[in-house]
Structures are given as structure tokens and as C-alpha cells.
Amino acid sequence: MSTTAPKTRSPRRRLGDLVFSGTTSGAALIILLALAGVAIFLTAKGVPALKATGDDLSGAKNIVSYTAPLVFGTLWAALLALLIATPLSIGVALAVSHYAPRRIATVLGYLIDLLAAVPSVVYGLWGSLFLAPRLVPSYSWLGDHAHWLPLFSDNSSATGRTIFTAAIVLAIMVLPIITAISREIFAQTPRLNEEAALALGATRWEMVRLSVFPYARSGIVSAVMLGLGRAMGETMAVAMVLSASGVVTFDLNSSTNPSTIAANIALKFADATGLRVNALIFTGLVLFVITFVVNFIARAIVSRADRRLAA
């Protein structure tokens, strides 16, 4: 008797569970399909661009020579943005997690989150109408006095809408992302480690360096990687701020600037027809692959570091 009772009951239980677990795993499956769909549909619409030439590619010989300068611009702008944003974000995260009194820290945290809430198109508006004109004097000074450096050109921008201005706006946009993740990880540092460091006579900075940073290293790396992905994929701010001409140059203050993949698509898609659309989608596929790889590497680093911490 005692063995039959569970048997008769279990099917009824299992039905509800089966339906529910089936629905939830179905939802998970939809997400995987969507991700696969992104790759498949972009490939399907992007591949015809391999045949495109000349006219459809703004004069580039083939799709590779069309995409390469855009890839360069994307990476260069994102790199500049990260150079600005990373130290700032780590400083801000430390200020919120370890330096500010708790009550002020909460308010500061909200303020930094507000930075993330501002839509990119508003950053674009602010960057091109407010920030860029104010940077013109600096750019022309650099053009006059520092053009012998490889990073500056003597042909400085008259509008201020250079790759460096775009990078500043991008930095402002990725700063809250890097800050939010670093802040969370800094705050998770074991309290005992911090107090042990302080008890041994460490100053506050030494405490941060000896107990907080080692604990948070993988978190910072993943935060910066995520910021990199965001900076590479950011579209509107770059499209509105940057005065792009699609050249390949490292100059920061020049009036001719490299374009980025995302900005190029946004600027050209509305007027594109035929193979031009395919070419733009092909560059979008390239962007997707690059950001995918960056995210993949970031996660790999994090999971390896986690395993090392656990061991």
C-alpha cells in the first residue's frame, strides 16, 4: 500500500510540473533561437554584398576594403573611450564603495546611474551642439603646436566634431556601466580582509590595493570588456558627434576622421537601396561578430578567474 500511494499521486503532480518546466525551457530555447537568428538573418542578407563593387560601396574596390576602415574606426574610437573611462570609473566606483559616507554614497550611486539612463541620442545632441564647439580652441592649439606628434594633425577641425570628441562622449556613456559593475564587486570585498589590512597599519589606499583590488580584478576586467562592447556598438552618439570621412588615421583633432561601423549604418541606411543595404548589413554582421568575440573573451577571463579564486 505504502508503495502505491506515491505512484498514483505522482502523475498529477508531474503534469503541472511538466507543462511548467516545458514552458520555461521553451522560453530559454526562444532566446537561443533569437541569437542564432541574428547570425543567420544577418548572414543571409549580408552575403550578397560579397559581389558588390565600386558604386555600391562608396567607391571601395570590394566589401573587404569597404569594411576595413570602418573596423579600424570602431576599434580606435572604443579604445580612446576606454582609456578615458576606465581610470575614471574605477575612481568613481571606489568613491562610492569605500570613500564616501554611506548616505552620500547612495545618492552618488543614483546620480551615476542617471548617467546610464540618459538616451544615447540626447548624448549625441549634447556632444555635437554643446561639447564639440567648446573643444575647437584646444584642437586648433594642438594643431598649431603639437602637430609634429603622431596623434595630432595640423589640419585641425573647425567644428570640433572629431574622433576624440566622439570618444569623450562614448567615455561618458560607458563610464556608468564600468562603474556599476566595479562598484558592486568592490562592495563585496570580504570585510575581514579590509579590517585585517587596516589593523596591520595600512593606509586606506594600501587597504584598497591589498584587499579590494586583488579580490575585484576579474570583475574589473569584465566590466571594462563590457564597456568595450558598448563603446563599439554605440551608434547615435558617434553618428551625431563625429564628422566622418572614412579615412584611416590616428589623428585626434583632424577635420577628416575615420567612421565607425555603427555610425556608418545609421547615417546611410535610410537612403540605401539594393546592394548598398546588403553591404551595410554585412558590416553589421562584422560588428556583431567582433562584439560577440569581445564578450566571449571577457566571460572566459571571468570564469577562469572565478575558478582560481575558488581553488
Partner 1 sequence: MSATQQSVQEHIPLRHPRLPRWAPVLVGVASLALSGILSLALGWHVVPWVIVALLLYVLILPGWSRVVENPRAAKDRLMTSLVWASLGIALVPLVSLLYKVVAKGLPQIDGNFMTYSMRNIVGPGGGVYHAIIGTLLITLAATIVSVPIGLLTSIYLVEYGSRSRIASWIRFLVDVMTGIPSIVAGLFAYALFVLITGTEGIHLGFGGSIALSLLMVPIVVRSAEEMLKLVPGDLREASYALGVPKWLTIVRVVLPTALPGIVTGVTLAIARVIGETAPLLIIAGFTDSVNTNLFGNAPMETLPVFIYYSYTQPGVDASVGQNYAWGAALVLIVIVMVLNVGARLLGRLFSPKSGH
Distance, in Å, from the CA atom of 223 to the CA atom of 294, rounded to the nearest integer, reads 12
- Find the binder of partner 1 among 107, 114, 158, 309 (CB under 8 A): 114
- Find the binder of partner 1 among 175, 223, 224, 244 (CB under 8 A): 175
Residues paired with 244 in a beta bridge: 257
Distance, in Å, from the CA atom of 143 to the CA atom of 139, rounded to the nearest integer, reads 6
Tell me the closest approach of the beta carbon of residue 285 to partner 1, in angstroms. 8
Contact status: 107 vs partner 1 (CB under 8 A): no
Contact status: 166 vs partner 1 (CB under 8 A): no
Judged by beta carbon, residue 80 or residue 281, the one nearer partner 1 is 281
The closest of 212, 288, 293, 275 to 63, measured between CA atoms, is 275
CA distances from 197 to 15, 101, 204 (A): 56, 20, 9
Contact status: 78 vs partner 1 (CB under 8 A): no
**Which of the stretches 61-69, 151-159, 188-196, 278-286 binds partner 1 when contact is defined by CB under 8 A?**
278-286
Contact status: 245 vs partner 1 (CB under 8 A): no
- What are phi and psi for residue 234, nearest 5 degrees? -65, 130
Tell me the closest approach of the beta carbon of residue 240 to partner 1, in angstroms. 6
Give CA angle at 156 (153, 161), nearest 5°: 120
Contact status: 128 vs partner 1 (CB under 8 A): yes
Q: What is the DSSP letter of 258?
A: -
Contact status: 210 vs partner 1 (CB under 8 A): no
**Which of the stretches 65-73, 75-83, 243-251, 281-289 binds partner 1 when contact is defined by CB under 8 A?**
281-289
Q: According to CB under 8 A, which residues from 213 to 242 bind partner 1?
A: 226, 229-230, 232-236, 239-240
Distance, in Å, from the CA atom of 80 to the CA atom of 170, rounded to the nearest integer, reads 9
